[in-house]
Amino acid sequence: MGIIVLGTVALDTVKTPFGKRKNMLGGSAAHFAMSARLFTQVHLVAVIGKDFPARHIDFLRRKGLNLASLAREKGESFRWDGEYKGDLNCAITNDTKLGVLSDFKPGLSKGQRKIKNIFLANIDPEVQNYLLCRMQSPRLVGLDSMNFWIKHKRKSLLRLLKKVNIYVANDQEARDLSGENNLVRAAGSLYKLGPQIVLIKKGEHGVLLYSGKSILALPAWPTGRVIDPTGAGDTFAGGFMGYLTKSKKINEASLKKAVSYGTIAASFNIEDFGLKRTSCLTLEDLERRLAKFRKCIGG
Amino acid sequence: MGIIVLGTVALDTVKTPFGKRKNMLGGSAAHFAMSARLFTQVHLVAVIGKDFPARHIDFLRRKGLNLASLAREKGESFRWDGEYKGDLNCAITNDTKLGVLSDFKPGLSKGQRKIKNIFLANIDPEVQNYLLCRMQSPRLVGLDSMNFWIKHKRKSLLRLLKKVNIYVANDQEARDLSGENNLVRAAGSLYKLGPQIVLIKKGEHGVLLYSGKSILALPAWPTGRVIDPTGAGDTFAGGFMGYLTKSKKINEASLKKAVSYGTIAASFNIEDFGLKRTSCLTLEDLERRLAKFRKCIGG
């Protein structure tokens, strides 16, 4: 059956201490797809403009993604121009051009409406809700958001949180939405808003997963090789949701594995610009690094 | 044989969102001792003033610490007055009174000079070096410092780093001393300065241990119950060094255990003001929570 990902497909211009790349293929849905595809069929739901290079579309197709609901509209593609300086954990946005994203109404084919698994990557919560309502009987619904929507569309986001199983937030978003500074308390508070699972991404510090009864803590893969962290959170979510889609079970054991796969997928993402490293990633690469990772986790 | 800890024994006034305590028994050596004593005999090397309450000394003695080198000098005891606001990871110092600490020359008894294990808790690196030189043949030497010494006594600290086995730093200190923002790189760079093991404490995010060949990452005990984090780093170091002193072996397995004991000891420290929780801690408490902790670490 696979998984639907709703999000952005973008043209990213990124500068880090290690170089600069212009108009790379990027966006939340593209990064998510690169890791989720290792576990399941990924259906991309996003919008691109008339200016979107054909080679990028070919690339996404070659990676095995279903592009039936990748809409092409008049107008310019969504573009993000960002930069990382000393602190590679923190992106500085130089420019954002919404283009066709500004009035995007996502659609699904008849077959896609029957899919049970969906990840609503970062995009306007009203658009996320619109797509979720199009689905016949979703079973596993993951949601990501960002500080902009927490501030400006809080009510829509709170309504949406009641409908999702998994809410994925970074540490600052979790603090902003919950009003709690301590992340374990923040997770508990977000859990009360609806989702059965709250996942807090802490970048180089790993993740926390809270599921009401149990809590799971995992450090990040310890590495000094960080070239471009753009999309690491989406790559994490792709590995996490992709594995859960494949395993079909949600229990403590499958959540532990899902968090580990997400962590390791993200560790590859940051090793090169854009999708360069994750687009040639294999499940064997993930497994190999996961085995090493297990050895370097204390406990 | 036991372990020597050189550091401060202080009168702490601490305010957190959960209350205020005046002139509590505190200081780096006292916090270290509360967890290290669970594994080995702890010899306290510190200075107190004439105003130091007798009940605090009785308390330290009742906890089984050797106080032969706890010097009592004319003048006032070292006092720290600090506060935590929203972010419990970050102490705000309101006032520091060095008192007798300002010209402290630590001493050791003849028997203590033969002890093989020592932790040089945060204090002037020249005082740390002075005591280290008094020891006959130290085998396991741990060192902590702080941003003030990194800035103002950098040369002394760099000289001292060549003589120690284990350097314990928090994330900001590691960045400041190494000039590296990425903590794995920072650990690698600090390792080149001399110590065989570099331990970076990241507060609520856990620890990183780097030993040249291998790296170990451990999250913190995930808790929303943080009352007073003062001394958590020293409590961690006490559990870590205490276990290594007891085990006598330094290899991957013992380091993993030591880091876990330190982590769990610190998780108790933050649950109440000052030494209140750790002073009644038992090894059984540590073991029980460690078993729970292992279940909530992914991987």
Q: How far apart are CA B191 and CA B184, in angstroms?
A: 11
Burial class (CB in 10 A: 0-12, 13-18, 19+), B89: middle
Amino acid at residue number A172:
Q
Return the bridge partners of B19, or none. Answer: B16
From first to last of the 299 residues of chain A, give the pLDDT tens digit: 899 999 999 999 999 999 999 999 999 999 999 999 999 999 999 999 999 999 999 999 999 999 999 999 999 999 999 999 877 878 899 999 999 999 999 999 999 999 999 999 999 999 999 999 999 999 999 999 999 999 999 999 999 999 999 999 999 999 999 999 999 999 999 999 999 999 999 999 999 999 998 999 999 999 999 999 999 999 999 999 999 999 999 999 999 999 999 999 999 999 999 999 999 999 999 999 999 999 998 66
The pLDDT value recorded for residue B299 is 60
**Would an 8 Å CB–CB cutoff place B226 in contact with chain A?**
yes
Q: How far apart are CA A156 and CA A198, in angstroms?
A: 18
B299 occurs within a structural domain: no
Measured between CA atoms, the residue of chain B closest to residue A223 is B184
- Checking if the pLDDT of B224 tops 80, the result is yes
Please report, for the domain that includes residue B257, its CATH number: 3.40.1190.20
Residues A170 and A190 sit within 8 Å (Cβ to Cβ) = no
Amino acid at residue number A187:
A
Residues 278-297 (B) with a CB less than 8 A from some CB of A = 293-297
Contact: B296, A215; criterion CB under 8 Å = yes
**Would an 8 Å CB–CB cutoff place B222 in contact with chain A?**
yes
Residue A121: which of A102, A157, A145 has the closest Cα? A145
Q: How far apart are CA A298 and CA B256, in angstroms?
A: 5
**Would an 8 Å CB–CB cutoff place B10 in contact with chain A?**
no
Helix/strand/coil for A179: coil
The pLDDT value recorded for residue B90 is 83
Instruction: Provide, as residue numbers in chain A, all residues whose Cβ is less than 8 Å from the Cβ of B297.
Output: 216-218, 297-299
Contact: A209, B293; criterion CB under 8 Å = no
Residues B199 and B209 sit within 8 Å (Cβ to Cβ) = yes
Q: How far apart are CA B220 and CA B156, in angstroms?
A: 32
Instruction: Provide, as residue numbers in chain A, all residues whose Cβ is less than 8 Å from the Cβ of B216.
Output: 296-298
Measured between CA atoms, the residue of chain B closest to residue A202 is B205
When CB atoms are compared, the residue of A181, A260, A296 closest to B298 is A260
Kindly give the pairing relationship between strand B117-120 and strand B92-97: unpaired
Measured between CA atoms, the residue of chain A closest to residue B180 is A86
What pLDDT, in 10s, does the model give residues B153-171?
Answer: 999 999 999 999 999 999 9
- Checking if the pLDDT of B298 tops 80, the result is no
Residues 84-103 (B) with a CB less than 8 A from some CB of A = 86-88
pTM here is: 0.93
Helix/strand/coil for A208: strand
Contact: A299, B260; criterion CB under 8 Å = yes
SS (H, E, C) A137-170: CCCEEEEECCHHHHHHCHHHHHHHHCCCCEEEEE
Length reported for chain A: 299
Residues A241 and A117 sit within 8 Å (Cβ to Cβ) = yes
- Checking if the pLDDT of B59 tops 90, the result is yes
A201 occurs within a structural domain: yes
When CB atoms are compared, the residue of A182, A185, A296 closest to B214 is A296
A298 occurs within a structural domain: no
Residue A44: which of A115, A136, A98, A96 has the closest Cα? A115
**Would an 8 Å CB–CB cutoff place A70 in contact with chain B?**
no
Mean pLDDT of chain B: 96
**Would an 8 Å CB–CB cutoff place B75 in contact with chain A?**
no
Domains contained in chain B, number: 1
Measured between CA atoms, the residue of chain B closest to residue A214 is B296
Suggest the residue from B218, B259, B271 to mutate for an interface test with chain A (most A CBs closer than 10 A).
B218
Instruction: Provide, as residue numbers in chain A, all residues whose Cβ is less than 8 Å from the Cβ of B192.
Output: none
Residues A43 and A4 sit within 8 Å (Cβ to Cβ) = yes
Instruction: Supply the DSSP string of chain B, one letter for each residue.
Output: --EEEES--EEEEEEETTEEEEEEEE-HHHHHHHHHTTTS-EEEEEEE-TTS-HHHHHHHHHTT-EEEEEEE-SSPPPEEEEE--S-TT--EEEEEE-GGGGG------HHHHT--EEEE-SS-HHHHHHHHHHSSS-SEEEEE--HHHHHHSHHHHHHHHTT-SEEEEEHHHHHHHH--SSHHHHHHHHHTTS-SEEEEE-GGG-EEEE-SS-EEEEPPP--S--S--TTHHHHHHHHHHHHHHHH---SHHHHHHHHHHHHHHHHHHTTSSTTTTGGG--HHHHHHHHHHHHHTB--
| Residue labelled with tokens 């204390």 | A298
Residue A224: which of B189, B298, B177, B147 has the closest Cα? B189
What pLDDT, in 10s, does the model give residues B285-295?
Answer: 999 999 999 99
State how far residue A180 is from chain B, nearest Cα, in angstroms.
9
- Checking if the pLDDT of B122 tops 80, the result is yes
The pLDDT value recorded for residue A87 is 75
Q: How far apart are CA A145 and CA A54, in angstroms?
A: 29
Sheet holding B140-144, edge to edge: B66-72, B42-48, B3-6, B117-120, B140-144, B166-170, B197-201, B207-210, B215-218
The pLDDT value recorded for residue A213 is 86
Residues B122 and B145 sit within 8 Å (Cβ to Cβ) = yes
The yes/no answer to whether this complex scores an ipTM above 0.85 is: yes
What stretch of H or E contains A93?
strand A91-97
Residue B286: which of B266, A289, B157 has the closest Cα? B266
Burial class (CB in 10 A: 0-12, 13-18, 19+), A186: buried
Residue B25 tokens, joined? 């028994």
State how far residue A216 is from chain B, nearest Cα, in angstroms.
4
Instruction: Provide, as residue numbers in chain A, all residues whose Cβ is less than 8 Å from the Cβ of B218.
Output: 219, 297-299
When CB atoms are compared, the residue of B182, B188, B206 closest to A219 is B206
Q: How far apart are CA A13 and CA A81, in angstroms?
A: 5
Measured between CA atoms, the residue of chain B closest to residue A296 is B216
When CB atoms are compared, the residue of B224, B260, B263 closest to A184 is B224
Of chain A, the end-to-end C-alpha distance in Å amounts to: 37
Distances (CA, A) of B17 to A188, B84, B85, B196: 19, 7, 6, 39
**Would an 8 Å CB–CB cutoff place A179 in contact with chain B?**
no
The pLDDT value recorded for residue B226 is 93
State how far residue A290 is from chain B, nearest Cα, in angstroms.
8
B281 occurs within a structural domain: yes
- Checking if the pLDDT of B248 tops 80, the result is yes
Residue A37, domain extent: 3-293
State how far residue A150 is from chain B, nearest Cα, in angstroms.
20
